[in-house]
Amino acid sequence: MPRYALLIEYDGGPFQGWQRQSETQPSVQGALEAALGRLHPGPHVVAGAGRTDAGVHATGQVAHVDLPRDWDPARLAGAINAHLRPWPVAVLACAPVAGDWHARFSARERRYLFRLVARRASPVLDRGHVWQVPGPLDLTAMQEGAAHLIGKHDFTTFRSALCQAASPVKTLDEITITETPVPGGTEYRFALRARSFLHNQVRSIVGTLERVGSGKWPPGQVKAALLAQDRTACGPVCPPQGLYLTAVGYPDAPFGLQPRQPPGP
């Protein structure tokens, strides 16, 4: 059966996450499989590169699916999108891949972006797409705290108790934090890159760094929390709505189209 890779964008707000659950709990995977079922009768399994949580968005999720016949990639993307309406999910690109290519296991890196807006007024246009805090944060302190997390570490402190990964040891290749003035305040963007992440790792890291930026933690406490290898040493886990899966990297780069960045400055 021909296998196709899909580059996918979605608003995670209406979903209980990527992974298919019960019929009463909508998922991104379930929406895609239902759309494919309207193209070809019978069950379909869409395998994703990352299982984003409820409320988490994506501008560069990648998945693959096996279909019973050959499709022109552009026509397949258009047909899936037609059957996805009105769900806030779109296939941005489609590419044929080898039968042993796997969206999850062939991936070499994943990139996430977290958007945090510091201002008093509610984020009306970005509601559901950013985490809002009331006061400004210290960018330099957060960057200093984040530096302790770069490299290969035991990330037990920043791992959900429900995480199913075989090991808490991961290599975090990059954390870049930037700030941009926005009307009424400042937007902070946290960009993280690694081959793979633990469950809730990004949200745990951002929540901890917000404690540093607000002055509640000194930057060195991030290192102490990491070395503790104890979930209770972590800062608060920030809410999901500011988190975006922005890219998944592969050695063969199946898509010519680059993932779109979230809106904002």
CA distance 167 to 156: 9
Sequence-ordered list of residues with C-beta below 8 angstroms from that of 67, at least 6 positions apart, any chain:
1, 2, 3, 4, 36, 39, 40, 44, 76
* Tokens describing residue 28: 């991104």
- Under the banding of pLDDT at 50, 70 and 90, the label for residue 264 is low
**Hey, what amino acid is at 205?**
I
- Please give the Cα distance from 166 to 186 (Å, whole number): 38
pLDDT at 265: 61
Element (H, E) at 7: strand 3-10
Delineate the domains of the chain, giving CATH numbers in brackets.
3-106 (3.30.70.580), 109-245 (3.30.70.660)
Q: How far is CA 171 from CA 107, 160, 254, in A?
A: 15, 17, 25
Identify the band that residue 247 occupies on the pLDDT scale cut at 50, 70 and 90.
Answer: very high
> Does the structure show a pLDDT above 60 at 259?
no
Residue 261 clears pLDDT 80, i.e. is over it:
no
**Span 231-258, mean pLDDT?**
89
Residue 22: per-residue pLDDT: 75
Residues with catalytic annotation?
53
Per the prediction, the chain carries an average pLDDT of 94
DSSP structure string for 47-96: EES--PBTT-EEEEEEEEEE-SS---HHHHHHHHHHHHTTSSEEEEEEEE
What is the pLDDT, as a whole number, of residue 257? 46
Q: Reduced to 3 states, what is the DSSP secondary structure of residue 248? A: strand
The mean pLDDT of 80-104, rounded to a whole number, is 96
